[in-house]
Amino acid sequence: MCKENELSFSIFIMYALAEKWRKTPVAVYHILNSTGILDNYIIKSYDMLHTLGREYLVEDITEFVREKGVNV
């Protein structure tokens, strides 16, 4: 179970990625959840990630998703 600040941050990231990838936030959620990136990276690394800029986060997570074999 994640904390409220981790949940808010995760939602922020999903909407930022949705805009970049031109997908719905729900579709982004499914991609992040199915690859394990949501739980094992975004939520788990919240303390470090929330200090980084939006553009950097979007590029970092996009690259990570592609490494998992998902075309976005």
- Please report, rounded to a whole number, the percentage of residues in the chain having pLDDT higher than 90: 97
Burial of residue 38, with CB atoms counted within 10 A of its CB: 0-12 exposed, 13-18 middle, 19 or more buried: buried
The answer to whether the pTM exceeds 0.85 is yes
Q: What is the pLDDT of residue 2?
A: 80
Query: What is the domain partition of the chain in residue ranges?
Result: 4-67
Distance CA 69, CA 44 (A): 21
Average pLDDT over residues 30-53: 96
Alpha helix locations (H) across 1-72?
Answer: 4-21, 25-35, 37, 46-49, 54-67
pLDDT(1) > 90: no
Q: What is the pLDDT of residues 29-40, one digit of tens each?
A: 999 999 999 999
Mean pLDDT in residue range 3-20? 96
